[in-house]
Amino acid sequence: MGDTSEFSLTVRLFLKGYSWRKIDPVPWTPLKKPLSQCRLALVSSAGFVVPGQQPFDESFKGGDPSFREIPANCQTKTLLETHRSESFDHTGMQQDPNLAFPIDRICELATAGRIGSVNHRHLSCMGSITAPGRLIVNTAPPAAKLLVEDGVDVALLVPV
């Protein structure tokens, strides 16, 4: 069960006093066509990078708000997980990156015709962001624009 009891006392106290960012108004884009005709992209906050990409910056105060593009044809097992949090067990997604970046699963869905297609690139970010202002204002809008330019219809977002 994912609850805060998994975390250290220090983390639990931090979360207890944390001011969560309420999305208001809540934007809403209804599905415009059957999923079998939709292009899907993934967004994972597990901090995955492909070999050769710059890792997320662990020293970034408030959390690194940058994104990495992960190509759909990446070799799943070569993805490097660079999430900085020590508050959870990383071994599962290191063993199988699909646990938090399910690229193999969505390729199977496209083959089966459940979705129309898999976008040629996906987004990876560092979820451990305590000060999300830069993410909201500076980095998420251009990252989202990349997927819009790709003709992406739907996105599945996976935290860890």
Partner 1 sequence: MCNQTVCLVAAELERQGISTVVIQLLRNVAEKVHPPRALFVPFKHGYPLDAPGDPARQAAVIEAALKMLEDPALTAPALRDYLAK
Distance of CA 106 to the CA centre of its chain: 14
From the list 48-56, 70-78, 135-143, the region that binds partner 1 by CB under 8 A is 135-143
**156 lines the binding site for partner 1 (CB under 8 A):** yes
List 87, 107, 110, 116, residue binding partner 1 (CB under 8 A): 87
Give the CA distances from residue 53 to residues 35, 69, 99, 142, in Å, rounded to whole numbers and listed in that order.
32, 9, 21, 19
- Number of residues that make up the chain: 160
DSSP H helical segments within the chain, as ranges?
9-17, 91-95, 103-112, 133-134, 140-149
From the list 48-56, 68-76, 108-116, the region that binds partner 1 by CB under 8 A is 108-116
**32 lines the binding site for partner 1 (CB under 8 A):** yes
Residue (41 or 49) nearer to partner 1, CB = 41
List 10, 22, 52, 78, residue binding partner 1 (CB under 8 A): 22
